[in-house]
């Protein structure tokens, strides 16, 4: 496996956020293209909540979730068992070296994975390799610099600056969304359907979820470890940013828009 660092890490505060995602809120652009009996691969599946929704859409076809982290793959398998989903399997592995022969799946999906990688084009080539000719590679990626929020708290500006430096220090491209179409073309896809969609955090519940998660992540997750180890921030700065996130979450006018790019690329 290549020596890359996944910027968010797998602290409970991170994995909890990922486990709240669904196929409906994260893969709506793909769902109408799925039909019963398809074989689907979800790379960088995390705790598997999106994979389970995709599995429902292809049943009785098989959905496979793959992630670099053994730990989250274990959580995904647990979630599947708890929900009694039988047409799904999870395994650890690397998107750069997928453990399947050419043309193994009808659909290969990735959600919020490529902008964490040092070589997203190589990942897309590998995803295409395991897709049957005529099948689909479906990817959705955030664009950090395109995120917007209100009120414009200086602590959130500080958070964005720090996140950009941490991710770029890992060789990743946090503004991956706007580059996704270009990456697909560079990987050799010629038939690519681009789209975009956003998540909005602007209700008390959604603000609590988003602001509360980041307030915790900046103090306790890999975000904090990397910022401190690399001398990008000190503890008081992290405390300040965390408090800023809580202040944002409590503001009844608080708004945070997170846009993502999507592609449906024909293999
Ligand atoms: C932001 S999370 C997204 C998880 C899930 N797709 C979702 O949207 O909730 C990115 C995931 O990609 C995984 N990942 C990072 N590098 C990887 C690699 N080289 N191969 C496979 N998975 C990888 C991480 O372990 C992490 O679980």
Q: Which residue's CA is minimally distant from atom 11 of ligand 1?
A: 44
Q: How many CB atoms lie within 10 A of CB 79?
A: 18
What does the pLDDT read at residue 3? 65
Q: Relative to the CA of 69, which ligand 1 atom is closest?
A: 25
In the chain, how many domains are there? 1
Q: Does residue 2 lie in a domain region?
A: no
Q: Is residue 6 situated within a structural domain?
A: no
Residue 7 forms part of a structural domain: no
| Torsion angle of C-alpha atoms 98, 100, 105, 108, degrees rounded to 10 | 0
Checking DSSP bridges between strand 255-266 and strand 131-142, what pairing results, if any? antiparallel
What is the predicted pLDDT for the residue at 1?
41
Ligand 1 neighbour 119 (Cβ under 6 A):
no
Residue 247 confidence (pLDDT): 98
Q: Is 84 exposed, middle or buried (0-12, 13-18, 19+ CB in 10 A)?
A: exposed
Contact status, residue 110 vs residue 127, Cβ threshold 8 Å: yes
Helix, strand, or coil here: 246? helix
Structural domain contains residue 4: no
In a domain, 261, yes or no: yes
Distance 45 CA to ligand 1 centre (A): 6
Q: What atom in ligand 1 is closest to the CA of residue 6?
A: 15
User: Which CATH number do you get for residue 80?
Assistant: 3.40.50.150
Distance 130 CA to ligand 1 centre (A): 18
Structural domain boundaries enclosing 226: 12-266
**Does any domain span residue 1?**
no
Q: List the chain residues with pLDDT less than 70.
A: 1-3
């Amino acid at each position: 496996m290549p020596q890359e660092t996944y910027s968010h890490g797998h602290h409970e505060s991170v994995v909890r956020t990922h486990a709240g995602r669904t196929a409906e809120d994260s893969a709506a652009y793909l769902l109408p293209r799925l039909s019963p009996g398809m074989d689907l691969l979800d790379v960088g599946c995390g705790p598997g909540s999106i994979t389970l929704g995709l599995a429902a859409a292809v049943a009785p076809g098989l959905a496979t979730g793959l992630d670099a982290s053994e730990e989250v793959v274990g959580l995904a398998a647990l979630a599947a068992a708890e929900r009694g989903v039988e047409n799904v399997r999870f395994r650890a592995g690397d998107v750069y070296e997928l453990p399947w022969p050419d043309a193994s799946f009808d659909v290969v999906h990735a959600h919020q994975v490529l902008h964490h990688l040092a070589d997203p084009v190589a990942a897309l080539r590998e995803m295409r390799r395991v897709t049957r000719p005529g099948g689909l590679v479906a990817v959705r990626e955030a664009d950090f610099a395109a995120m917007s929020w209100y009120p414009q708290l200086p602590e959130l500006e500080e958070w964005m600056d720090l996140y950009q430096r941490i991710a770029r220090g890992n060789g990743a491209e946090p503004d991956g969304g706007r580059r996704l179409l270009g990456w697909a073309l560079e990987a050799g896809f010629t038939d690519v359907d681009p789209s975009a969609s956003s998540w909005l955090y602007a209700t008390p519940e959604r603000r609590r979820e988003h602001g509360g998660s980041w307030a915790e992540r900046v103090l306790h997750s890999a975000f904090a470890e990397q910022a401190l180890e690399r001398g990008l921030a000190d503890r008081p700065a992290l405390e300040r940013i965390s408090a800023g996130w809580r202040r944002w979450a409590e503001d009844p006018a608080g708004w945070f828009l997170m846009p993502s790019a999507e592609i449906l690329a024909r293999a």
